[in-house]
Every structure is written in structure tokens, then in C-alpha cells.
Amino acid sequence: MSDSHHASAEAGRLTLAAIRAAEARIRGSIHRTPVLTSATLDEFARARLFLKCEHLQKGGAFKARGATNAVFSLAEDVARRGVVTHSSGNHAAALARAARLRGVPAYVVMPRGALAVKRDAAVRYGGELIECEPTLAAREATAAQVLERTGATLVHPYDDLRVMAGQGTTALELLDDLPDLDAILCPVGGGGQLSGIAVAAKSLKPSIRIVGVEPAAADDAARSLAAGRILPAGDPRTIADGLRTTLGTRPFAEIRAHVDAIVTVEEASIVAAMRLLWSVTKAVVEPSGAVAFAAVLEGRHAPFGERLAIVLSGGNFDPAAFDWSGRSLA
């Protein structure tokens, strides 16, 4: 490790070197996801769209990247004691899967009321499920109890440099496939994915624009970026269940340094984006995964260029149980 890289890591900042190391570490354990194009969607958008299909990732979401990097970064004696997380869904399943690949235990704290399709995935991958009350305080307290009992290692869903580095590998793939992109639009909840993508993309191509997208009903990232400090999410009421989290400290540092804008979208636009993705491309994308495309439907992308990568970050939801009116907050 160079002195400069070591200093950056010590300061708790993400580096391109860490993201490249993550790419090498996880290459055999995840999909290099395809990029989908559609002339029909281009006409809707009046732009060239390149859909990065993370809904086709292992476990059905981008979370496989960060969780796998975190688990395989651990020293053998540490990994043997297992890993713990608290998550409402996709990260829980991703961590359970990564732990199974490494042959170590995974303890997954999930709030009661988490979507069944996400809870079931975590169990299917071999995670030991521990339920708690649906508050962040309860999640953190329960995870602390599990850590005390097991001696396992906490892998936070997003406020973890190893997780952020893994998520950043999406941008390495995008710019390898499409070096002349003008912008990448990416959902933002806790900020792990947006921060990783921003560091990777801006390091490789400083002129590219990085845009975070979140529901207007959960706009803490936009408010935080404007204020220059993290403002809590409060009680966000959005169908995008994966984006109800408050920004993490480490992701926010990178978002402030590298993200050009954060835009918000309405609930009806998220549902419209899901419908259009399905009807035109046959892509089944969950609400959280569709927000970046929703920004295109609302015309929020216009300042960011002609060649736009849209991250479809996950596809884990039950279409039969979903309230397609857009009114459901479950």
C-alpha cells in the first residue's frame, strides 16, 4: 500500500485502489451485470439511456457486491466467528449469501414487518434471522446483543468502507463498457452505492456527472447535501422501502466531495417507472431500484447530458402483493 493510499484509508475515505481491489476480490462471486438499451425508452427520455441491470445481480440487488467484498476482506480467524448485520432486506440476503460462500455464520437482524420476499431470501441463503422492533434504535441494540453473544463482526449495510468499495465496482463495469457516458443516475438511501459509484467514476472520468435520486417523501439526502451536514430521515413514508434509511457518515463524506446533484421524485413516478420498465423491457424492478428511471420520466435528467447510465439497483419485490396505485407505504 502506498503512503498516500494508506493515509487516505486511515482517514476513513474511499479510494479507487480499494474499489479496484474489491473488483478483483469479488469477481468470481458476483455477476458482471448487463447493460440494457431501448429505443422506445430513449424516445420517452429524449436521451440515450443505458440501464445497468443490478436487479439481475446475485440475490437480486447490487448489495451482493459490497457484502461479498466485506466478508472476503476478513482475516480467517475473524471470519470464522461470523458476521452480523441489521437490514430491512437486500443487504441481509447479500450478507447471508456471502457468508455461505465463505463457509461462516451470518446473523441477520431484521425489523418485524420487513417484506417477506426479502426476509425469506436471507433465510434461504442460510442466515440466522433475529427479529426486532421496526426502529433503527431497536435494530442497532439487537445487533449489539448478537455481537456480544457471538463475537462476530458487524458489516453495516452502507456505513462501511468495505461495503462502499464493493458497490463502487458497478461504476468500473459501466465505464469499461461505456467510456463516453455523460452521467450516472443512481438511487440513494444510506449512500453506500452512490458514494462508491461516485468515487470510482470521478476518479476514472472527472468530467462525468453523478446524480443521486431519492423519493420526495424521503428526501434526507437532498436536504443533507444542501445543508452540508447529515439531516435525519425522520419517518419517511415511501413505497421505496430500501431508501428509508438515513445517510451514513462515511458515504456522506464522499457524496459531498463527488456527487453533482441529488434530485427527488414523486411516488406516482416511481410506480410509473416500474410499469414502463416492465412493459417495455420486461425488467422486474423494485420501487427503490426504479427511482433513477423515475427521475428520467419526470425530466429531472435534462441538465446532466445525453448519454445517461441509469442504475436499476434491485428487483426484490412481490408484484402480486404490490399496491400499484402507489398509495401503499408497506
Q: CA-CA distance, 41 to 182, in Å (whole number)?
A: 17
Q: What is the pLDDT of residues 231-278, one digit of tens each?
A: 988 888 899 988 988 899 999 999 999 999 999 999 999 999 999 999
Backbone angles phi, psi at 250, to 5 degrees: -65, -45
Nearest to 255 by CA among 285, 214, 298: 214
Active site (annotated) includes residue 63? yes
Asked whether residue 291 carries a pLDDT value surpassing 60, the answer given is: yes
Active site (annotated) includes residue 88? yes
Asked whether residue 13 carries a pLDDT value surpassing 70, the answer given is: yes
Q: Say whether 311 sits in a helix, a strand or coil.
A: strand
Q: Say whether 56 sits in a helix, a strand or coil.
A: helix
Helix, strand, coil shares of the chain, percent, nearest 5, are 50, 15, 35
Catalytic residue among 73, 87, 88, 269: 88
Residue 2: the pLDDT is 40
Long-range contacts of 35-40 (CB under 8 A, 24+ apart): 35/174, 35/177, 35/178, 35/309, 36/281, 36/283, 38/280, 38/281, 40/280
Q: Residue-wise over 191-202: b if at least 16 C-beta within 10 A, else e?
A: bbbbbbbbbbbb
Strand partners, 185: 211, 310
Catalytic residue among 52, 63, 118, 202: 63
pTM: 0.93
Asked whether residue 32 carries a pLDDT value surpassing 70, the answer given is: yes
For residue 175, the surrounding DSSP H or E stretch is: helix 161-177
Q: What is the pLDDT of residues 76-115, one digit of tens each?
A: 999 999 999 998 788 999 999 999 999 999 999 998 888 8
Give yes or no for a contact between 50 and 309, defined as CB atoms under 8 angstroms apart.
Answer: yes
Question: All domains of the chain, ordered by start, with CATH?
Answer: 3-62+160-312 (3.40.50.1100), 63-154 (3.40.50.1100)
Q: What is the pLDDT of residues 57-80, one digit of tens each?
A: 999 999 999 999 999 999 999 999
